[in-house]
Amino acid sequence: MQAVDRAIRVLLYLASDEARGESGVSDIAKGTGLPKATVHRLLRAFSPHRFVEQNPETGKYRLSWGVFEVGNKVPGVIGLKMAARPEMASLCEISRETVNLAVRDGTDAVLIDKVDSNQLLRLELEIGRREPLHATALGKALLCEFGKDALAGVFGPEPWPAVTPSTIQTLAGFAAALEAVRRDGYATDNEEFSVNIRCVGAPIRNHTHRVIAAISVSGPAHRFPADRAKEVAPAVVQAAKNISKLLGHG
Amino acid sequence: MQAVDRAIRVLLYLASDEARGESGVSDIAKGTGLPKATVHRLLRAFSPHRFVEQNPETGKYRLSWGVFEVGNKVPGVIGLKMAARPEMASLCEISRETVNLAVRDGTDAVLIDKVDSNQLLRLELEIGRREPLHATALGKALLCEFGKDALAGVFGPEPWPAVTPSTIQTLAGFAAALEAVRRDGYATDNEEFSVNIRCVGAPIRNHTHRVIAAISVSGPAHRFPADRAKEVAPAVVQAAKNISKLLGHG
DNA sequence: TTCGTCGTTTCACCTTCCGGAACAGCATTC
DNA sequence: GAATGCTGTTCCGGAAGGTGAAACGACGAA
């Protein structure tokens, strides 16, 4: 399926930071390594479905709303957002920090929605972004039910890539962290994903009792000492439980 | 570009309401009119990019997070959401009705984001949904700068399709409505899209002073008499202006 | 057991995509 | 102002690659 594979590569290029919104045919050809004529043909195939559109002024191409429309039809995304948003808003009000909602996809957590704090200093992660599971509170919450063998099947060989000096890089270390999550009901991230950022996360379950998502509160380390994390954790856990209840859990 | 076109048709089928989340290969083949083997090959091409995934329990296929990720990289979507969300939240608090954010794509308004009221009776429109421009307050706000000739270029021949008995179906009628929008600064929808639903919308402009989006407040007609609409309108206009300012307008 | 249907695989045919090269239009340069 | 270098776009012969009817193995229902 060469043609489809190339088509997706063009889409991914347009979605990449490298493209920064608009790209010319030649840029895409260079970025993907495909011949210019091929890229142009693919773009023409996308246009009628509104996956891409051409800026009539510059002649350059950009992603368009057709792909946004399809992307928001991923099963669960609407229900999750609707169930979670009110709880996230009140959690943001309580904690005065940014609240994130994510699901698992492979070895990444995909950010589905967020509610920003109105603090001046805050973590800016875009919706749709990916974060490595092994380096985040969201990841620990999403994987909290996984045993050592299941984890080994998800992640590659050790040591796992270090995002910061504090990132957990071993199966044993991560399994111990998950044990703590199961015991306490919440997960933490002590500057394991980004230096100076701490998080507290909790798992969300659906009617089959399986963990299908997670929420987290994240803030700069100076506003998030260890005791503050413990203070916020019950609110995070409660919010996650409330969302789970809306999804039929409990 | 036959293969790409078919690939997109498969994606669109999986995104359609008909698919309801999960679909088998045979369902997709029937729904798209494509041979079963072809559908299967396309699905296998999508998998490594995480555009679709297979439910290991049922064997059926569903959209996955890769396409969500790409969809949220459509230029403007992140900036718009971030600029608009706080204003939308306070507008929702003031009006106690659902607040919508949309952009134009062809003859449709695409719903980008929304903040739900906590009223029991409320309009439920999913993010990514499309509404016809000519039947909504959002549409009138998005097109408010268009003259008669420009409108004729956007829409097809008259009469335009009626969504409800009140839907404006003629170019002249719609142009008059836009004249009112330009005069008052806000647009209205008197059960033109859905019986028993009224809306008030206002345009959002970017740094080039062009209308790039619109917000609206929508509620059931019994809570939205004509005087209430006039009462809410200034808040809607002010919110739209605040968002525009964040985007560099004025 | 038998039947039906599921997702998956095969393979020879031939459609359809491929991509270097040429094209027209616009900017910048000398 | 002609030359140069870019842009997006088009053309066409060659062959790579997609196509899809039919067969397969596995599962579940009758």
Q: Where are the domains of chain B?
A: 2-71, 77-246
Counting residues of chain B whose pLDDT is more than 70, the rounded percentage is 98
Sign of the four-CA dihedral B84, B85, B86, B88: positive
User: Given CB atoms, is A51 within the 8 Å cutoff of chain B?
Assistant: yes
Write out the two tokens for B227: 């005087």
Q: DSSP alpha helices (H): ranges in chain A?
A: 2-15, 25-32, 36-46, 65-71, 77-95, 137-142, 148-154, 171-184, 226-246
> What's the rounded mean pLDDT across residues A115-121?
72
Dump pLDDT digits (tens) for A38-90: 999 999 999 999 999 999 888 899 999 999 999 999 998 888 998 898 899 99
The mean of the pLDDT values for chain B is 91
Asked if B8 and B51 count as a contact pair (C-beta separation under 8 A), the reply is no
Whether the beta carbon of B35 falls within 7 A of nucleic chain C: the reply is no
Q: Looking at the predicted structure, is the pLDDT value of residue B56 above 90?
A: no
> B70–A4: do the CB atoms touch at under 8 Å?
no
Write out the two tokens for A129: 């972004």
CATH number of B77-246: 3.30.450.40
CA A59, C1' C24: Å apart?
Answer: 15
* A3-35 core/surface letters (b: 16 or more CB in 10 A; e: else): bbebbbbbbbbbbeeebeebbbbebbbebbebe
> B70–A11: do the CB atoms touch at under 8 Å?
yes
Q: DSSP alpha helices (H): ranges in B96-168?
A: 137-142, 148-154
Whether the beta carbon of B27 falls within 7 A of nucleic chain C: the reply is yes
**Which pLDDT band, with edges at 50, 70 and 90, does B18 fall under?**
confident
**Which pLDDT band, with edges at 50, 70 and 90, does A124 fall under?**
low
**Which pLDDT band, with edges at 50, 70 and 90, does B124 fall under?**
low
Closest to A28 in 3D by CA, of A12, A44, A46: A12
CATH class of the domain defined by A2-71: mainly alpha
Please check whether the two domains, B2-71 and B77-246, share a CATH topology.
Answer: no
pLDDT reported for residue B249: 77
**Which pLDDT band, with edges at 50, 70 and 90, does B122 fall under?**
low
Secondary structure element (H or E) that encloses residue B49, with its range? none
Residue of A nearest to B38 (CA): A1
B-chain residues near A5 (CB < 8 A): 45, 49
CA A15, C1' D18: Å apart?
Answer: 27
Phi, psi angle pair for B16, to nearest 5°: -75, 160
CA A37, C1' C22: Å apart?
Answer: 12
